[in-house]
Copies of this chain bind each other. A is one copy, B any other.
Amino acid sequence: MDYQQASAWDPCATLATFLTLDDLAKASAAFSPTSPPPHHQHQSGVQVQTPATPVLKLVDEAKDKGYKRLCIPLTTAKWEARWAHMCLLPTESSDADKEQAAKDAEQWRLSPGFQLDEVTITRLDEAEGIIAMISEWLELDAADDWVRHDAEIALKQELAYASYLNIQTAILPAPRNRDHVASYARIVNSCLTKYPYTYLSIRLPIYNPSAFATQPPPLVPVSQSFAESLSPSTSRSTPSLVISMTEKEPVQPGGSLNATWEMWDLIRSMCDYNPRLTLTLDLSPALPTTLGVLSKWAAESVRYIFLPSSTFIANVKGYPVLPKPTQQFIRDSMIHRPMIILGGVSDGHHSRGGEAAYSQYVRHLEKTSPAVQATKQPGTVENFAQGYQDYLQAPLQPLMDNLPSVTYQTFEQDPVKYAQYEEAMYHAFLDRPAGERFVVCVAGAGRGPLVARCFKALERSKREATVIAVEKNPNAFVTLQHRQAMEWNNKVKLCFGDMRVIDVPEKADILVSELLGSFGDNELSPECLDGAMRFLKPAGISIPSSYTAHLAPLSSSKLYNEARSPKNEKSLETPYVVMFQAVNILSGTKAANDGRCGPQVQECWEFEHPRRDAVLDSRGLPYTNSHNARAAKMRFYIPHAGVLHGLAGYFEAILYGNIGLSIHPQRKDQVSKDMLSWFPLFFPFKEPLYLPSNSELQVSIWRLTNDRQVWYEWHAESFISIPAAADRKEELMLSTTFPATPFSAMGAPSPLIDSKEPPRLDTSRFAAYGTSEEALYDMVKIGHTSLHNPGGRSSWIGL
């Protein structure tokens, strides 16, 4: 099989296998502790230590098959039976039995612990490399208060035992009851605090959790049944204790494809995004074909993917393969380096390929994953950015700080950016009459890459020009002088100084600059070029001629956790440069039909050079920086529920004609494919904002300025469209019929007696509230973030 060949492949995913209690029982039955003896001679003559227990044998076998980890249940059926007997006694039990069970339960609650035959592992060496599967029957979200209460004690008992055995990771059974997921979450959070070295992972079906719903337990908890048998009913009309325990919660109508994610969101939020809490996505249920539902998992900390052999289907030859949507999901997930837990691989579900076929197939998916392939291919952003994924960097401030040579060198390696610049200059030069000498000024020449490209473009276009290079970094200016002497034959007019202040020897026809940041204007290109415009002849042009800033709403637990790390107390009020990986853009890919909302990524504002509306002083400089202030308000359609953690910022620039630069996620490949110089910007939000499915997100962002600084402020509000409420209409009726309300007419006339005259009510004001079709739907506000970075308090760019 060809997909086994490429042994040099560096795998992204690791594999694990899941064994059931049955598997353990079979291994135990087959195991004979005395033969072979603990130490025997291998054929090769090397002494090999033979596993001393069935579990050790299973671990060894799994390692031999290429599994990095073995997932096994920590407790046996005996423990389940004892727990149920203590905590869930059948109603028909005798009072004496109930009393004994209640006493046993209290003794157990006082000091919880296992008997030997209630656990599957007893030795430290057995536990090495094991992931503990917590008892599946524990109902941490049971409707019954006392079942939950005792399940919490039992869970902590298992975790304490796992911790004793140095087991690092435990996978918890899935929440099943939406109405009590808050209790499940509270218990998980309590465990994360109590066991500070244990990683917990929540097993969740990827969607449609109703497939996992269990019937409410037919048993009544001991304490309650015991209580009820003794005290029939108290004198209080609403005995809350009984109600809160046995109340049958109304069934949530329908459920939702987002229901699984919603449960996860609640759990991880209530656990305050604890990094030791991860997700085990269970792919047992069939996957939906719409990827919108699935893409959200990319923004969550999915550590494990549970893939039972029953999820595989057989191809015509009988080998196990996965359905198309599952294939695609796993290919896309590979980039996040999950551990894939294969279950039931020895059950013989498929006629061909045997146990090995499942892991071979997973490896095949990995190698054919476009995302993984991209990281392995030199020249791609994905390959270039290895190690930088989801790593937050403060944006450069090249105006305030003089860059080191190594930074110039890194960015000069971008083959695409400078090719685009050369192409733009080439076409700009071609558009000038042949034989006529003109002037090109490179404003912010750095170490000279644009000067070099300028000469290439002049050569290609067969044009002659005077080249001026302006640079304010005194260190880079040494490099420019060096290249001037070595490469450029002293043909360049080098000018040292800030382009907002100095003068150039000759006015230019074409001004070339590379002052753009990830958000376009965020390295103060507008302000710098305002100054450099003095270098241009009246009809001169700028390369770039314009640039735009773009935003999209983003979800990412990882970036949220990174941004709020205690390194920097104001860390959630400043934008970061970051190569996105574990993120999900929340907005819909298309503009909404009703025209209210724009596309997935929306334009904020534009800057053009030269400005057409410039009001300049005698030196040719603007009086104020007011004209570089900007404000934008955008409406995004949110098709699937998600949590807003920040905004993704991108830019596009037009260099000349149709030659541009773009990091816009949907257009970058057409405009400037494989350009490496810019990662997107991330504007974080302090408090995650929950956005339901089919909601609208309104984002405001401002570019503000005073005479010393430029900064951004940002804010978001969420809305949902609902039918106009009945009581709102009712209120309107009451209000408009107000004049008819009779006032008291009794008593002698006095200044205090109420008027009979109706108040002057301008009923025309209510005209807008008619019962016309449009009024039947309201955009209802449902939430907002705080205002971020007010007054540039936390983050600004120095002018």
Contacts and interface: CB of A to CB of B under 8 A. Distances in A.
A314 B757 CA distance: 7
A777 B253 contact: yes
A466 interface: no
B743 A324 contact: yes
Contact of A692 (B99, B194, B781): B781
Contact of A693 (B109, B208, B654, B780): B780
A145 interface: yes
A603 to B, nearest CB: 4
A102 B761 CA distance: 44
A388 to B, nearest CB: 29
A415 interface: no
A606 interface: yes
A384 interface: no
B694 A236 contact: no
A357 interface: yes
A403 interface: no
A313 to B, nearest CB: 4
Contact of A741 (B316, B324, B717): B324
A401 interface: no
A612 B779 CA distance: 53
Interface in A507-532: none
A314 B790 CA distance: 48
Contact of A110 (B103, B285, B323, B623): B623
Interface string A286-301: 1011100100000000
Contacts of A235: 654
Given A731-B290, A741-B324, A754-B324, A633 B784 contact: no
A183 B631 contact: yes
Contact of A750 (B317, B630, B731, B734): B317
B723 A723 contact: yes
Contacts of A725: 693-694
Contacts of A249: 633
A185 interface: yes
Contacts of A743: 324
A378 interface: no
A418 interface: no
A285 B779 CA distance: 24
A782 interface: yes
A375 interface: no
A153 to B, nearest CB: 8
A587 to B, nearest CB: 14
B110 A787 contact: no
A201 to B, nearest CB: 19
A768 B255 contact: yes
A214 interface: no
A240 B631 contact: no
A266 B784 contact: yes
Nearest to A750: B317
Name, among A360, A761, A783, A793, the residue most crowded by chain B CB atoms within 10 Å (CB to CB).
A783
A210 interface: yes
B715 A182 contact: yes
A189 B791 CA distance: 8
A484 interface: no
Nearest to A323: B759
A629 B152 CA distance: 12
A505 interface: no
B189 A790 contact: yes
A64 to B, nearest CB: 22
Interface in A190-206: 190, 193-194
Interface in A262-276: 262, 266, 269-272
A226 B613 contact: yes
Interface in A629-644: 629-633, 639, 641
Contact of A315 (B231, B735, B753): B753
B289 A735 contact: yes
Contact of A286 (B183, B700, B713, B759): B759
A432 to B, nearest CB: 19
B781 A641 contact: yes
A102 B614 CA distance: 9
Contacts of A110: 623-624
A20 B553 CA distance: 47
Given A613-B227, A755-B314, A244 B353 contact: no
A190 B706 CA distance: 12
A702 B548 contact: no
A436 B253 CA distance: 61
Contact of A749 (B1, B252, B317): B317
Contact of A782 (B211, B310, B720, B749): B720
Interface string A614-631: 010000001110110111
A765 interface: yes
A210 B765 contact: yes
A321 interface: yes
A762 interface: yes
A223 interface: yes
Contacts of A315: 749-757
Contacts of A60: none
Contacts of A630: 145, 241, 244
A234 interface: yes
A117 interface: no
A319 interface: yes
A94 interface: no
A238 to B, nearest CB: 6
Interface string A320-353: 0101110100000000000000000000000011
Contacts of A416: none
A778 to B, nearest CB: 6
25 contacts: A99-B615, A180-B633, A182-B633, A182-B698, A185-B787, A190-B790, A190-B791, A211-B762, A211-B765, A230-B613, A236-B548, A241-B608, A243-B603, A253-B777, A254-B775, A257-B732, A272-B787, A289-B734, A313-B760, A315-B752, A315-B754, A319-B750, A324-B743, A364-B752, A641-B781
Given A313-B758, A323-B759, 12 more contacts: A103-B615, A227-B613, A241-B606, A257-B735, A286-B738, A310-B760, A315-B755, A639-B727, A687-B687, A693-B728, A694-B722, A782-B783
Counting from the closest, the 4 A-B pairs by CB-CB distance are A227-B613, A319-B751, A231-B612, A106-B623
